[in-house]
Structure 1
Amino acid sequence: MNDIIHPQTTIGHVHLIVSNLERSLRFYTEIIGFRLLKQNPYEAVLTADGVTPLVVIEEKADAVPKPPRTTGLYHFAILVPDRKSLAQSLLHLLESGYPLQGASDHLFSEAVYLADPDGNGIEIYADRPMEKWEKTANGEYKAVTEPLDVNNLLAQAGTEAWSGLPMHTRIGHIHLHVAHIEEAYAFYVQGLGFEPTTRMGTHALFVSAGGYHHHIGLNTWAGVGAPKPPANAVGLRVFSIVLPNEAEREKAVERLQHIGASVRRSENSILTSDPFGNEIELIIQYI
């Protein structure tokens, strides 16, 4: 059995529970810059290129705020194609007056942080060229959180009017609160087959496919042993992992079953869940 997930594996989309669809739709289109792909009375599918679903927002009538010290979404990360695109997004956010939560330089990327109206965390970021990513003596990526040079970044924005997210935008990674790093390692590394890229003591683990800095971040910052949120809490309903073909998806299923993880199949879908209640859909990228 191949123990490593295919190097072309990526994150597909995130599906969020929100308390007010109309309010969230305005935020994700007017503030973040997604385009509406399709909508029904309770759900909207958002895209950057007019074809690929990246974010699904679903209204739950009985939705409650996510308790702060629970597992689930820390943030999902929108990867824009270049530094100029990040500068244009940041400039638009500043001009809109929407509150930001932070702006950081991580060496391998530059990032801006905020939350949607329900408190769902969002990162918008651009990668530096891979040849500039630094590694530590043990071969892991050097990850820091330094203040972003905002003025230097904004100088790249140009004079064009903001027109939303560029078409090559995608979901770059997802970062989750978990209860135990050891259990997270067992599921995401030994089960799904991602490779560890950075560890922060015993409280955070970052994993990826194909040498990326991270596709999934895992932390215990909500507390070791944190409980799952209520079933009707706003937050992450499911996110998808995109594998290149059916054979690679079945290898992932085999690894998950080998560690005793649940795998649920329907006609067009394979779902699993990590030990902390985070739902994951395994999908195939058809070319």
Structure 2
Amino acid sequence: MNRIHPRTEIGVVQLKISNMETSLRFYQEVIGLKLVRREGAIAELSADGVHPLVVLEENQLFRKQRNRSTSGLYHFAILLPDRRSLGVTLRNLIRHQIPVGQGDHLVSEALYLDDPDGNGIEIYADRPRDTWKRDEHGGIIMTTDPVDVSGLMAISEGISWQGMPAGTKIGHIHLHVGDLHIAEHFYCDIIGFDRITTYGDAALFISAGGYHHHIGLNTWAGKGAPPAPEQAAGLRYYSILIPEEASLQEILNRLEAEGIAFAKLEGQQGAALKDPFGNGIELVVLK
């Protein structure tokens, strides 16, 4: 069986945005990330001030898309280290009068919002892994129930907002795709993620190492949804962090066997490619 390394995680997410000043203000003041580097049309932001999590790519020609009209980004998910941090984040979102959705997924508690260009963001905290429940087939059970908002407010009472804490990372990414079976073959059979659970017949959640999901895939934009056009704001690429070079090479061998094109990354061990729906991916050896 083609399985990706169990310590594989999601890394940087690069987003196409239309106005750098507007987006920097949002990602720093509302989300709580720190500016690491800005050069020309590119800005890198992180939680710890060192390791980038979100990269912004500005072009005034990028335009906000009509919701659920193409394949591409549904949301990227920022994983906080604990529930208290989620409560503090909720307080900051309320302070900035940001419309927020929410969902208790049993394995996690999550808040949902959009950036100024309509890029979907989830901010969440996991429950302890030993509390996750499984179905009769061994799949992790997830659902969408109301979040205990009063509990989040109570646990964060009196704690001042300091931005995203160290230890914050990109927990997962969720994508619109045009065909779930093609997506499953690409991400599971070729890249090597494990199938974790489904949500009806239109969403699949996959991961490495038994996590509830590193990637969500859905056809909620419609079966056969076309790739997002270049001028659309949205996802440029996301990175998959692989702990060992040998594991990367196994993936590259499978890509070659399937005739899927990729290019080697400059300055680091890895490869750049697109999934069957035009979503950019960088496979990177984690150092």
Q: Secondary structure at the match of 1:147?
A: coil
Query: 2:186 corresponds to which residue?
Result: 187
After TM superposition, the structure 1 = structure 2 runs for residues 52-201 of structure 1, keeping only pairs within 5 Å, are 52-68=51-67, 69-100=69-100, 102-201=101-200
Query: 1:242 corresponds to which residue?
Result: 241
Q: Secondary structure at the match of 1:146?
A: coil
The alignment yields a C-alpha RMSD, in angstroms, of: 1.1
Contact 1:187 1:256 in 2 (8 A): no
Query: 1:211 corresponds to which residue?
Result: 210
Contact 1:187 1:259 in 2 (8 A): no
Contact 2:63 2:117 in 1 (8 A): no
Give every structure 1 segment of 4 or more consecutive aligned residues whose post-TM-superposition deviation is greater than 6 Å. none
2:266 is aligned with what amino acid?
E
Query: 1:256 corresponds to which residue?
Result: 255
Query: 1:284 corresponds to which residue?
Result: 285
Give the Cα separation in 1 of the matches to 2:25 and 2:165.
Answer: 18
Contact 2:112 2:123 in 1 (8 A): yes
Q: Secondary structure at the match of 1:198?
A: strand
Q: Secondary structure at the match of 1:186?
A: helix
Kindly provide the CA deviation profile for residues 156-210 of structure 1, in whole angstroms up to 9, marking residues without a partner as x.
Answer: 1131210000010000000000000000001100110000101123200000000
After alignment, is 109-118 or 148-157 more displaced? 148-157
Q: Secondary structure at the match of 1:275?
A: coil
Query: 2:10 corresponds to which residue?
Result: 11
TM-score (norm 2): 0.97
Q: CA deviation at 1:41?
A: 3.0
* Unmatched segments (≥5 aa) in structure 2: none
Query: 1:49 corresponds to which residue?
Result: 48
* Unmatched segments (≥5 aa) in structure 1: none
Q: Secondary structure at the match of 1:254?
A: helix
Contact 2:10 2:240 in 1 (8 A): yes
Task: State the identity %.
Answer: 50
Give the Cα separation in 2 of the matches to 1:250 and 1:12.
Answer: 18
Q: CA deviation at 1:128?
A: 0.1
Cα distance, 1:61–1:129 mapped onto 2, change above 3 Å: same
The alignment of Structure 1 onto Structure 2 pairs a total of residues equal to 284
Q: CA deviation at 1:62?
A: 1.3
1:146 is aligned with what amino acid?
D
1:89 is aligned with what amino acid?
T
Q: CA deviation at 1:232?
A: 1.3
Contact 1:66 1:230 in 2 (8 A): no
Give the Cα separation in 2 of the matches to 1:6 and 1:155.
Answer: 39
2:20 is aligned with what amino acid?
L
Q: CA deviation at 1:78?
A: 0.2
Give the Cα separation in 2 of the matches to 1:148 and 1:186.
Answer: 34
Q: Secondary structure at the match of 1:117?
A: coil
After alignment, is 274-283 or 89-98 more displaced? 89-98
2:136 is aligned with what amino acid?
A
After alignment, is 198-207 or 233-242 more displaced? 198-207
Contact 2:3 2:194 in 1 (8 A): yes
Kindly provide the CA deviation profile for residues 48-68 of structure 1, in whole angstroms up to 9, marking residues without a partner as x.
Answer: 011111000110121122233
Contact 1:190 1:259 in 2 (8 A): no
1:285 is aligned with what amino acid?
L
1:178 is aligned with what amino acid?
V
Q: Secondary structure at the match of 2:155?
A: coil
Give the Cα separation in 2 of the matches to 1:35 and 1:26.
Answer: 10
